[in-house]
């Protein structure tokens, strides 16, 4: 039996601010199998983004351990966690964070450079083909050479999703990926994610408010009062 892709063991996150401290995650334990597709729901401010940040090693828990693909995130230095993110994770931010000076296609290809060995080494032809294919899949074939300020909010969102997928990660962490999209576009995007989830090793951890999105995934969790639980459970 292989190890689970992701294991959270009594993970807590407390923010200390001027107005006192706030316990956002309270001893959350959770396991995600390889290839699973999970939705996380919760009220605004419930701590969904906080949870994704911890899993993506962008933040460290106040207590508890996180194991990703068998390795404890706490033990990784900057280089190692960078490698982990580049090779195993795909990130779709709530604020997409595209590079304004690069075109959509270039933005998609940027993660392939994270491990480039020389300054002149570019994305592999395979990566370029994949990027083009993915962009086409999300309906952006005609927008590949536009820069972010020339794209609509939803288009930017889709570029961010494609960027997260370019390195063929094991786990996609998506924070409201369909936030700015209309129903059709959202469906389309979810179709893509679900398809990739089925066809490849890609596991999904998607934060979403939309029930229509959540329902397409294997499992749904709700974050409430610092605890992660099945809805209604």
Partner 1 sequence: MSGGMLGWRLGGRSLVHPRRTHLGVAAGAAIATAVLVGALGVGDSLRHSLTEGALRRIGEVRLAMDTGERAFTAALADALTAALAAPGAPATAALHLNGLAIADGGRRRAPDVHVYGVEPGFWSAGGLAPRALGDRQALVNRTLARALGVREGDEIVLRFAAPSALPRDVPLGSDVTETRTVRVAIERVIDAHELGDFDLSGDPEPPRNVFVALSLLERGSGLVGRRNLVLATAPIDAGAAGAGSASPPIVPAALRASWRLEDAGARLRRLGPDGAWDVTSERIFLAEPLARAALAAAPGRAALTYLVDSIESASGRATRYGMVTAYDPIAPADSPPAPVPAELAPDQVVVTRWLADQLGVDVGDPLTLRYWVFGLNRHLTRASGHFTVAGVVATESKGGDRALMPEIPGLTDVESALDWDPAPELDVHPERLSDAERTYWREHRGAPQAFVHRSWALGAGGWRTPYGDVTSVRLDGRLAEEALRERIRANLEPAELGLGFQPVRDQALRSVGTGVASYFGYLFASLSAFVILAALVLTVLLFTFHVEQVSPEIGTLRAVGIPARRIRAWLLAEGAVVAALGCALGIPAGWLYVWLMLGALAGPWSGAVAGAQVAFHVDVTTPLLGAGVVFGVSVLGMTWVLSRRTRHQPHALLASRFGVPEASHWSRRAAIIATVASAVLALALASWGARASAELATELFFGAGACMLLATASAAAAYLMPAAERGRAMVTFARLGHLGASRRAGRSLAAITMLASGTFLVISVNAFRLGGEDRTAAGTGGFALFARTSVPVAPDLSTPDGLAALGLERLREVHILGLRLGVGDEASCRNLARPRHPPLLGVDASSFAARNPFRFAGLLTPTASPWTLLEGSDDAEVIPAIADEAVAKWVLGLGLGDTLEYLDDSGRPFRVRLVGMLKGSILQGYLLVDARAFAARFPSLAGHRVFLVDAPSGREDEVARALAESALADHGLTITPAAERLASFDAVQNTYLSIFTAVGGLGLVLGCAGLGVVVLRNVVERRGELAAMRAIGFSRRRLRRLLLVEHGLLLAWGVGAGTASALVAIGPTLAERGSVPVALLVSTALAVIVNGLLWTLVAARVALAGELLAALRHE
Locate 117 and state its tokens: 């060995």
The pairing of beta strand 37-41 with beta strand 203-207: parallel
Q: How far apart are CA 43 and CA 2, in angstroms?
A: 34
- Using Cβ positions, the residue closest to Mg ion within the complex turns out to be 49
Residue 139: helix, strand or coil by DSSP?
coil
- Strands lying side by side in the sheet with 227-229: 89-92, 171-175, 203-207, 37-41, 219-224, 227-229
Q: Report how far residue 37's alpha carbon sits from residue 206's, in angstroms, rounded to the nearest whole number.
A: 8
Q: Quick count: other Cβ atoms within 10 Å of Cβ 212?
A: 12
* CB closer to ligand ATP, 46 vs 104: 46
Among 6, 7, 28, 48, binds ligand ATP (CB under 6 A): 48
Task: Look at residue 85 and give the partner it binds from Mg ion, partner 1, ligand ATP, none, a contact being a CB closer than 5 to 8 Å depending on partner kind.
Answer: partner 1
Q: Which residues bind partner 1 (CB under 8 A)?
A: 53, 56, 58-59, 78-79, 82-87, 89-91, 93, 95, 97-103, 105-106, 109-116, 118-123, 128, 131, 145, 147-149, 163-164, 167
- When the beta carbons of 160 and 220 are compared against partner 1, the nearer one is 160
- For 75, counting Cβ atoms within 10 Å of its Cβ (0-12 exposed, 13-18 middle, 19+ buried), the class is exposed
C-beta of 49: minimal distance to ligand ATP in Å?
A: 3
Q: Which does 47 bind (CB under 5 to 8 A by kind): ligand ATP, Mg ion, partner 1, none?
A: ligand ATP
2 binds, among Mg ion, ligand ATP, partner 1, none (CB under 5 to 8 A by kind): none
- Least separation in angstroms between CB 77 and partner 1: 9
**Closer CB to ligand ATP, residue 93 or residue 108?**
93
Identified binder of ligand ATP from the candidate list 10, 45, 80, 182, rule CB under 6 A: 45
Spatial distance between the Cα atoms of 152 and 97, rounded to a whole number of angstroms = 14
Q: Are 143 and 104 in contact (CB under 8 A)?
A: yes
Nearest approach, Cβ of residue 220 and partner 1 (Å):
25
**Does 47 sit near ligand ATP (CB under 6 A)?**
yes
Give dist(CA 128, CA 178) in Å, integer. 24
From the list ligand ATP, Mg ion, partner 1, none, which binds 197 (C-beta under 5 to 8 Å, kind-based)?
none
Q: What is the DSSP letter of 197?
A: H
Residues that bind ligand ATP (CB under 6 A): 15, 17, 24, 42, 44-50, 94
């Amino acid at each position: 039996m292989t190890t689970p892709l992701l294991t959270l063991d009594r993970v807590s996150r407390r923010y200390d601010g001027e107005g006192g401290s706030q316990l956002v995650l309270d001893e959350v334990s959770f396991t995600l199998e390889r290839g699973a597709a999970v939705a996380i729901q919760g009220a605004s401010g419930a701590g969904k983004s906080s949870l994704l940040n911890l899993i993506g090693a962008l933040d460290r828990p106040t207590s508890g351990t996180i194991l990703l693909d068998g390795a404890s995130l706490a033990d990784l230095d900057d280089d190692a966690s960078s490698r982990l993110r580049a090779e195993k994770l795909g990130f779709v931010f709530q604020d997409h964070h595209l590079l304004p000076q690069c075109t959509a296609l270039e933005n998609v290809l940027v993660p392939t450079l994270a491990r480039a060995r020389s300054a002149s080494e570019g994305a592999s032809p395979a990566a370029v083909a994949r990027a083009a294919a993915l962009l086409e899949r999300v309906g952006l074939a005609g927008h590949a050479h536009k820069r972010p300020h020339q794209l609509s909010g939803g288009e930017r969102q889709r570029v961010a999703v494609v960027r997260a997928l370019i390195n063929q990660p094991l786990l996609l962490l998506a924070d409201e990926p369909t936030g700015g999209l209309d129903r059709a576009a959202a469906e389309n995007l979810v179709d893509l994610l679900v398809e990739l989830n089925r066809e490849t090793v890609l596991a999904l951890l998607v934060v979403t408010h939309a029930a229509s999105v959540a329902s397409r995934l294997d499992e749904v969790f709700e974050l409430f009062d610092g605890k992660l639980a099945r809805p209604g459970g």
